[in-house]
Chain A
């Protein structure tokens, strides 16, 4: 394909850190590459780790982080001597709590329906996978042409209603996607 997507498939690596001032960080911790924060890859080096203390290098500066307290999913982290409070959620608990995709319309807008009658040739992703905007989800054959159907947002595949080889009519719901961009 050649294109490199920032969200790899494993949605269990996407977390939401909500600060007490209301600011929200969507943080994806991939296995190999750099962390993705709010949809952007950052060149942050992890230089030291000891018990409750992490150090990072970024922008030529050292960031000393210390976990000050932790109560279930609430954490207070001291960064360079200053405390910040966060509430942490996995993507799935975040969705479960209705904090993403609360608005039905936004869900509908991101769901994938069949643009024309055809046959499902291949499905590239599975339920629970993260998908990037523009990333092919499945291949639909219509009028002897294979069309790649792509995601309209960064999101998580909630449900796949079709199987390989199945024929679909125009406007059939094929894949439900919940956006993680909101």
Chain B
């Protein structure tokens, strides 16, 4: 009998996981949330479980108990949590395991340990990984924070121990404001994570975010698949990623990769995971944290390594031995991922909800599209704004940038604004082209004027004029529906007039 794999997630990642489930000969089961009953991923599933989550605030994807109960009712063998939602919730992983369901990911204990940053860091120290200078453990009050800050020097970063996504995080530039920031960050963390523990560390002025993808099995084998650079972030949310990073030398790559593997082996890690580093301008790097899930940006690693990470996640969960050896991993070319979020880059990235009247993706052998939507889809306020990812592969970084730019120009979405123009602006910016961009780029360099260009403006003027003119010249009433590429408006007008 075919194994039954339940995906406790939605959108593009659900479709991505369904693909792997099918490849491995499994039945893919998904939830139908009442908050988006017509979602695209439902079409790809073999079986749909109605979630009946209309009356609750919490979508099914966050309700651990209901997920497990429904999974038991539907004879589910494995659960893949995707990313976000319950993917890094140790209680959910434990609940699955207790009920005899194979959770696709590491053990609940590993998730718990890596989720507590102080624990993760002490384990990193044991494995010999460098850490950003800062407090060893949680600090109790603003006074203690001040003492630490004096020791390591301003600016400093206050971070919630249980934090994530930028919540409970503050940069403090000078001693006068540390008490105020400590209190507000701690309160925020307490409200968001039910844990107000804070720690403090040196704040790097121009850091890059570099992360290493690792794969480990349940038999102690661990390899890494190179790095991704995810420095392009806004409020700690990534917007565009590339693999590999132009900022690493082969020696650094080997060092950081070896360390990642050493760390994962030390903690007995299995499944796909990511070791995050922060890279300073002087080339020094520090361990930040480990993510114990499949990540949004995993396709760029797949593009350059040729390894299917989701396949391996499932196979590892089934107890298979990781047959790939470190020396088998040859990274080929370059890959860039652009996140298509329905956010308005001209207006502080405010989220856009509503209908996608029409969406068109670029197509080519070098382009991979991961999309959770199609023409006619609705973007609701219940879920995050990422609707798709455009991933492009090329032989060199420069070629990949050019191909990506062309792909983004081919993309179109009618109905909502997206971050695609933002990604175009990034790809053309000198700091991206010369790879000196840092995690501060969006805050310090980006301005919405970068989205505009003279050609687009002129064509906009022309389009506006044609729309206005067609009314002014009273052509609108008998404008034929018109599809032929060989026609142009100038001919069209002629036809209408004579």
B456 near A56 with CB under 8 A, answer no
CB distance from A29 to the nearest CB of B (A): 6
Does B252 sit at the interface, judged by CB under 8 A? Answer: no
Q: Which of B447-491 contact A (CB under 8 A)?
A: 451-452, 455-469, 472-473, 479, 481-483, 485, 487-491
Given known contacts A46-B490, A67-B467, is B460 in contact with A86 (CB within 8 Å)? Answer: yes
Does A65 sit at the interface, judged by CB under 8 A? Answer: yes
Which B residues are CB-close (under 8 A) to A45? 488
Does A117 sit at the interface, judged by CB under 8 A? Answer: no
Complex: A34 Cα to B421 Cα, angstroms = 28
Complex: A101 Cα to B343 Cα, angstroms = 43
Does B497 sit at the interface, judged by CB under 8 A? Answer: yes
Complex: A37 Cα to B463 Cα, angstroms = 12
Does A155 sit at the interface, judged by CB under 8 A? Answer: no
Complex: A23 Cα to B454 Cα, angstroms = 10
Q: Chain A interface secondary structure, helix, strand, loop or mixed?
A: strand
Does A158 sit at the interface, judged by CB under 8 A? Answer: no
Which one, A11-19, A104-112, A131-139, A169-177, is touching chain B? Answer: A11-19
Which one, B212-220, B272-280, B406-414, is touching chain A? Answer: B406-414
Which residue, of B452, B468, B487, B497, has the highest number of chain A Cβ atoms within 10 A? B468
Contact of B462 among A56, A61, A66, A73 (CB under 8 A): A56
Does A80 sit at the interface, judged by CB under 8 A? Answer: yes
Contact of A80 among B456, B482, B493 (CB under 8 A): B456
Complex: A62 Cα to B362 Cα, angstroms = 12
Contact of A58 among B455, B461, B493 (CB under 8 A): B455
Does B135 sit at the interface, judged by CB under 8 A? Answer: no
Contact of A15 among B418, B420, B465, B483 (CB under 8 A): B465
Does A48 sit at the interface, judged by CB under 8 A? Answer: yes
A48 near B483 with CB under 8 A, answer yes
B464 near A64 with CB under 8 A, answer no
Given known contacts A53-B358, A67-B463, is B451 in contact with A82 (CB within 8 Å)? Answer: yes
Given known contacts A37-B458, A79-B456, A81-B420, is B466 in contact with A29 (CB within 8 Å)? Answer: yes
CB distance from B208 to the nearest CB of A (A): 27
Does A118 sit at the interface, judged by CB under 8 A? Answer: no
B452 near A13 with CB under 8 A, answer no
A31 near B465 with CB under 8 A, answer no
Give the residue name and chain of the A residue nearest to B482 (CB): A49
Contact of A82 among B346, B464, B469, B494 (CB under 8 A): B346
What is the number of contacts between chain A and chain B, taking CB atoms within 8 Å?
A: 136
Q: Contact mask A81-96 → B, CB, 8 Å, 1/0?
A: 1111010101000000
Give the residue name and chain of the B residue nearest to A74 (CB): B464
Which residue, of B463, B466, B479, has the highest number of chain A Cβ atoms within 10 A? B463
Given known contacts A59-B455, A82-B346, A90-B472, is B461 in contact with A37 (CB within 8 Å)? Answer: yes
Which B residues are CB-close (under 8 A) to A58? 455, 459
B466 near A19 with CB under 8 A, answer no
Which B residues are CB-close (under 8 A) to A81? 412-413, 417-418, 420-421
Which A residues are CB-close (under 8 A) to B487? 46
Given known contacts A49-B482, A61-B409, is B452 in contact with A86 (CB within 8 Å)? Answer: no
Q: Which of A1-30 contact B (CB under 8 A)?
A: 12-13, 15, 17, 19, 23, 25, 27, 29-30
A75 near B412 with CB under 8 A, answer no
A82 near B456 with CB under 8 A, answer yes
Does B492 sit at the interface, judged by CB under 8 A? Answer: yes
B489 near A17 with CB under 8 A, answer no
Complex: A82 Cα to B452 Cα, angstroms = 7
Which A residues are CB-close (under 8 A) to B420? 81
Give the residue name and chain of the B residue nearest to A53 (CB): B414
B492 near A73 with CB under 8 A, answer no
Contact of B493 among A23, A31, A47, A84 (CB under 8 A): A31
Complex: A24 Cα to B182 Cα, angstroms = 51
A80 near B463 with CB under 8 A, answer no
Contact of B489 among A19, A49, A52, A63 (CB under 8 A): A49
Given known contacts A61-B409, A75-B467, A79-B456, is B490 in contact with A17 (CB within 8 Å)? Answer: no
A46 near B489 with CB under 8 A, answer yes
Give the residue name and chain of the B residue nearest to A23 (CB): B457
Which residue, of B418, B452, B464, B469, has the highest number of chain A Cβ atoms within 10 A? B464
Complex: A37 Cα to B473 Cα, angstroms = 18
Complex: A79 Cα to B346 Cα, angstroms = 13
29 contacts between A and B (CB under 8 A): A13-B473, A15-B468, A15-B469, A15-B472, A17-B462, A25-B462, A27-B462, A29-B465, A32-B494, A33-B490, A34-B490, A37-B461, A46-B492, A48-B483, A49-B482, A53-B358, A53-B414, A56-B459, A62-B412, A63-B459, A65-B460, A67-B467, A77-B460, A77-B464, A80-B424, A81-B418, A82-B452, A83-B417, A90-B472
Point out residues on A near B: beta carbons under 8 Å: 12-13, 15, 17, 19, 23, 25, 27, 29-35, 37, 44-50, 52-56, 58-59, 61-67, 70, 73, 75, 77-84, 86, 88, 90
The 6 closest A-B pairs by CB, nearest first: A65-B463, A46-B489, A25-B461, A17-B461, A84-B460, A64-B412
